[in-house]
Chains A and B, each alone.
Chain A
Amino acid sequence: MNVLACLKRVPNTGAKIVLTEDQQEIDTTNLGFTMSPHEECAVEEAVQIVEEHGGSATALTLGSAEATEQVRTAIAMQADEGVLLETDGEEWSPRNTAGAIAEFVRDRQEDGGGFDLLLFGNESADAGNYQVGVRVARELGLPIVTSIKSLSVEDGAVVAEREIPRGSEVYELDLPAVVAVKEGLNEPRYASMRARMQARRQEVEHVTPERRTDAGLKKIRLESPETEDSETEILGHGPEAVPEIVRVLEDELEVI
């Protein structure tokens, strides 16, 4: 089993997101970077599948040279190899991102290193476009299912579950296949300091993809939503507030 996990480097935002003056980006001056949460689970799943079935887990990202940091995190999580599709750091559209990833996968295949399973995060934490995995699958002619929270590989097929109220929908896809996963799929391992040190020494393959022309969805500006700071009625301090809580539940909200 050769598994590819695609991930994205995103700022590690705190309690409040601050924008740059031109409203084009998040001001990352005081922020670290991380992997999108869904994709952390994609990496963990790729590693677990390879641990169980053998083969190789590859972690890939498309982004600036700095994104190597997140590929190395994936390697520290025991991915076997890392790939950076290096760009100038500008935000690529889902269509262009998918095109570059599909081309990389095709090139690997021609070199005899095809992937049996491609994993994506269901949507990136920052852009939330919900479509890169689908576009890659369509371009490669592979089956895909999205929003997956449980996954197993058996007999040349992948069994994937999507959560619904009071249960799950089960899909079975013949390999090779593409699956877009959500946080909760597994518990991503914590990479030890030793693993991180080792990952620093491992080579990350660099590929410079060509960017297609694309009208696409063009960002004009970002803004923070207006927050409705509601009037807060303090019902009291400590256990003495309990009668007041009960009164509110009963008389004002009528929920008991």
Chain B
Amino acid sequence: MVLIFVEHDGGKPADSSLEMLTLARDVADQLDAPVEAAVFGDGEGLADELGQFGVEAIHVVDYDGVETYAPIAWAESLDQLASAVEPEAVVAPGSERGHEVLAHLGASRDIPMAANCLDVTVGDAYEVERQRWGGTLLEHARLSGDPKLLTAAKNELTVAPAAESAEPAVEPFTPELTDDDLAVRIDRIEESDEEGIPLGEARIVVSGGRGVGSAEDFDQLEELADLLDAAVGASRAAVNEGWRSHDDQVGQTGAKISPTLYIPCGISGAVQHMVGAKGSEYILPINTDPEAAIIGHADYAVIGDLHEVVPELNETLRERSD
């Protein structure tokens, strides 16, 4: 059996969990075994959706205090559930929580964990293909351990319902936890007072790089974003220059975005930037250099100085909306 850790928001599975299910189901098919899910919090309503993705049982962890994220308690619960149901593999999404919970499980059992996997071939040891360097390199590796611990790379696997849907049984699972297990937990949520659309949720992202030239010159990009209902991003170079805050950074050590349209302005397109941007459906750079790497990654491109193109574009869009 393959046990998966599913993240959800009030019964709606997270995208990264659905992507992970594509990998988990592939492992289960190779093993000719079912997929069963571990969920925390109110799992009501998950049965239908997870059933469509071929999940055959849902174990809802039932313990006072675990409905709020508490990494050690969650990992300990998963550990105890794994002891009860003896999975051959435990698969988690390549999200912050997925990595954290599975790393705890690997540490407490003293077994390895393979992060950000794209492909798995089962056997005594599993052969995995996984991302390194934020996805700019792939590693083929042999994973041992019982069970095998894997996280699935984000924004890489296609979300696809199972060929045959299942009607999962929903069963409570009550772990034995201590206060120590619950010591690390979300104490409170603080809402940011920042306005605008978060990068990760934007349908269009307008980004600026070194070619923008100054913090003030980002005003034109802000205006363009405003006209397009877009979020504003930046390359690491622009952040290092102090023109934008790190929260706006797109790339390996910043946000990974997946908008319909990405408009990078004055960004050369280094691999570290592209791993953050490759989830974009369409890319339309504005760049003075026709040889820039970003042009090769693009669907459309404008060759020119953003300081000339963007104001003109803003003007046209403004007139259009009037």
Contacts and interface: CB of A to CB of B under 8 A. Distances in A.
Interface in A232-252: 232-239, 241-243, 245-246, 248-249
Interface string B206-235: 000000000000000000000010000000
Given A168-B189, A217-B142, A233 B300 contact: yes
B313 to A, nearest CB: 5
B112 A146 contact: no
Interface in A163-204: 163-174, 182-184, 187
At the interface, is chain A mostly helix, strand, loop or mixed? mixed
B141 interface: yes
A94 B203 CA distance: 37
Nearest to A224: B137
B109 to A, nearest CB: 10
A161 interface: yes
Interface stretch (B16-24, B25-33, B53-61, B96-104): B96-104
Interface stretch (B36-44, B166-174, B290-298): B290-298
Given A184-B247, A222-B139, A230-B297, A171 B185 contact: yes
B200 interface: yes
A243 B191 contact: no
B261 A253 contact: yes
B312 A167 contact: no
Contacts of A224: 136-138
A255 B261 contact: yes
A32 to B, nearest CB: 15
Contacts of B245: 184
A253 B282 contact: yes
Nearest to A145: B184
A229 B308 contact: no
Interface residues of A, number: 83
B302 A241 contact: yes
Interface in B305-322: 305, 308-309, 312-313, 316-317, 320
B257 interface: no
A256 B225 CA distance: 12
A50 interface: no
Nearest to A168: B190
A147 B143 CA distance: 25
B312 A242 contact: yes
B49 interface: no
A170 B191 CA distance: 11
B115 A131 contact: yes
Contacts of A131: 99, 103, 106-107, 113, 115
8 contacts: A16-B271, A166-B198, A170-B188, A221-B139, A222-B137, A225-B137, A232-B298, A236-B303
Given A172-B187, A218-B125, 10 more contacts: A125-B252, A127-B132, A130-B100, A135-B107, A169-B186, A184-B253, A218-B144, A221-B140, A241-B304, A255-B203
